[in-house]
């Protein structure tokens, strides 16, 4: 007998591509399982003003998690990066699977195929992410950063219409859209420290029930452990992907290494640290990195009211 589960996702092209990927993985892991994709238009998708007024990036994920909690859908596919560090998942909802991580790097797309160091003086780069703005200005203080919101397709359209000279978007997001040929330069970690959770798709379910057991088959323990280290950092800061924070954990045998930094929005100050330890202590590593950065004065950079 076929079991059908309902998968909730945002309706953007990237979100639907991710949802279809998860649906295929689930259907090949379990015979007789059918996944029905339910696109959800969130408040965050409809809002065109600043993200801060929309309730932050959490506006994208928490509405879908509420449907999960209410039983209107059975699983939700999220970019881990979009889940804020300061808002807990609703009661009775958990991350049942961390998918294997894709590349976490950001990519520059510029008109004329110019790399970051080749952009004209005062060139206009479109991004709304404080983390990207800070690191762009750190490398190139002469650039002008223009906020552009919206999904990846619409940001590419803003570049093509001549509104900006370049944009910075997630490399894996472009690949998921079949747009990787547009990449001018993949920005290395030294230039652009990645966002916490970048490149990692997670699947949330209710903590008990059939969907949870079905989805657990997709969990990648390596991806889970590096994610736990990065997420603990963000959680300690009470930050989200709107914050000028980078955090990137890697795994070598059983050792997790976490590189983390906090940036002043204008790129004129960076606080960074590297911590390492056994994978079983991944969350403690994230807290340790956060505490080291807080001891260096990170709170002042994170909180606009203290700057």
Ligand X SMILES: NCc1[nH]cc(CCC(=O)O)c1CC(=O)O
Q: Residue 142 has what DSSP assignment?
A: T
Closest separation in Å from C-beta 196 to ligand X: 10
Closest separation in Å from C-beta 198 to ligand X: 4
Residue 116 CA to residue 20 CA, distance in Å, equals 34
Q: Looking at beta carbons only, is 241 or 293 nearer to ligand X?
A: 241
Q: Looking at beta carbons only, is 241 or 290 nearer to ligand X?
A: 241
Q: Looking at beta carbons only, is 119 or 201 nearer to ligand X?
A: 201
Q: Parallel, antiparallel, or unpaired for β 201-206 and 245-252?
A: unpaired
DSSP-H helix ranges across 48-129:
58-70
Residue among 65, 74, 82, 106 flagged as catalytic: 82
Residue 82 annotated to the active site: yes
- How far are the Cα atoms of 53, 149, 244 from residue 50, in angstroms, in the given order? 6, 8, 16
Q: Looking at beta carbons only, is 69 or 223 nearer to ligand X?
A: 223
Residues 6+ apart with CB under 8 A from 104: 172, 194, 195, 198, 199, 200, 248
Q: Residue 263 has what DSSP assignment?
A: E
Residue 128 CA to residue 158 CA, distance in Å, equals 13
Question: Which spans of this chain sit near ligand X (rule: CB under 6 A)?
Answer: 79, 81-82, 152, 169-170, 172-173, 198-199, 201
Closest separation in Å from C-beta 30 to ligand X: 24
Q: Looking at beta carbons only, is 198 or 204 nearer to ligand X?
A: 198
- How far are the Cα atoms of 24, 93, 207 from residue 33, in angstroms, in the given order? 10, 21, 19
DSSP-assigned states of every residue in 206-256: ESSSHHHHHHHTT--HHHHHHHHHHHHHHHHHT--TTSSEEEEEEEETTEE
Write phi, then psi, for 23 (nearest 5 degrees): -60, -45
Closest separation in Å from C-beta 279 to ligand X: 22
Closest separation in Å from C-beta 201 to ligand X: 6
Catalytic site positions = 82
């Amino acid at each position: 007998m076929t079991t059908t589960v309902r998968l909730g996702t945002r309706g953007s092209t990237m979100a639907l591509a991710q949802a279809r990927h998860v649906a295929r993985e689930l259907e090949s892991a379990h015979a007789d399982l059918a996944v029905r994709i339910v696109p959800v238009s969130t408040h965050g998708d409809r809002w065109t003003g600043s993200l801060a007024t929309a309730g932050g990036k959490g506006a994208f994920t928490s509405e879908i998690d509420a449907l999960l909690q209410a039983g209107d859908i059975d699983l939700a596919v999220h970019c881990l990066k979009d889940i804020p560090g300061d808002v807990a998942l609703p009661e009775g909802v958990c991350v049942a699977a961390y998918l294997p991580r894709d590349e976490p790097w950001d990519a520059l797309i510029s008109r004329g195929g110019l790399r970051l160091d080749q952009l004209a003086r005062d060139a206009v780069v479109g991004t709304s992410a404080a983390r990207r703005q800070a690191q762009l200005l750190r490398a190139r203080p002469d650039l002008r950063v223009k906020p552009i919101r919206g999904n990846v397709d619409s940001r590419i359209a803003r570049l093509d219409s001549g509104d900006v000279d370049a944009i910075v978007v997630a490399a894996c997001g472009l690949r998921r859209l079949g747009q990787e040929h547009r990449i001018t330069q993949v920005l290395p970690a030294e230039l652009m420290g990645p966002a916490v959770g970048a490149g990692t798709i997670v699947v949330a379910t209710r903590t008990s029930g059939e969907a949870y057991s079905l989805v657990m088959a997709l969990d990648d323990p390596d991806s889970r452990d590096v994610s736990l280290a990065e997420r603990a950092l963000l959680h300690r800061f009470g930050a989200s992907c709107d914050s000028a924070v980078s955090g990137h954990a890697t795994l070598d045998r059983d050792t997790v290494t976490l590189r983390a930094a906090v940036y002043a929005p204008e790129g004129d100050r960076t606080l960074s640290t590297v911590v390492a330890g056994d994978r079983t202590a991944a969350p403690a590593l994230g807290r340790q990195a956060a505490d080291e950065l807080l001891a260096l004065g990170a709170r002042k950079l994170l909180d606009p009211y203290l700057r």
